[in-house]
């Protein structure tokens, strides 16, 4: 399989491995405690753990894109903001 078209840098590999680890963790969590722990958050509609993970990943992508567009500062700042955002999503949404 020729993957030379993809820029497989170390950060790219870490990104995809992290998402894979998130998904494996969610599978194990769902097997141990099925049902996804649905709850109503600040938006007033019911979300499960999987929904909150998806919202966190999507929001984190937008945070990083905006960070790159607006500033030339290293992406570690965007990473910290994205972690805080993800924690808030899992706590309040």
Q: Give the pLDDT confidence of 31-79 residue by residue, as tens digits.
A: 998 887 788 988 888 999 889 999 999 999 999 999 999 999 988 899 9
Answer whether residue 64 is part of any domain.
Answer: yes
pLDDT in tens, 58-69: 999 999 999 999
Answer whether residue 1 is part of any domain.
Answer: no
Q: What pLDDT does residue 37 have? A: 79
- Residue 10 scores a pLDDT above 90: no
Q: What pLDDT does residue 1 have? A: 64
pTM of the entire structure?
Answer: 0.79
User: Where in the sequence is the domain holding 74, given as residue range(s)?
Assistant: 10-92
Answer whether residue 16 is part of any domain.
Answer: yes
Print the SS3 string covering 10-71.
HHHHHHHHHHHHHHHHHHHHHHHCCCCCCEECCCCCEECHHHHHHHHHHHHHHHHHHHHHHC
Number of domains forming the structure of the chain: 1
Answer whether residue 4 is part of any domain.
Answer: no
Q: What pLDDT does residue 3 have? A: 64
């Amino acid at each position: 399989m020729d993957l030379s078209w993809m820029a497989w840098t170390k950060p790219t590999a870490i990104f995809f491995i992290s998402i894979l680890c998130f998904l494996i963790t969610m599978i194990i969590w769902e097997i141990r405690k099925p049902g996804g722990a649905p709850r109503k958050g600040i938006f007033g509609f019911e979300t499960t753990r999987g929904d909150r993970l998806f919202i966190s990943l999507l929001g984190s992508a937008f945070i990083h894109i905006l960070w790159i567009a607006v500033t030339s500062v290293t992406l570690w700042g965007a990473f910290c903001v994205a972690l805080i955002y993800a924690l808030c999503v899992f706590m309040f949404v």
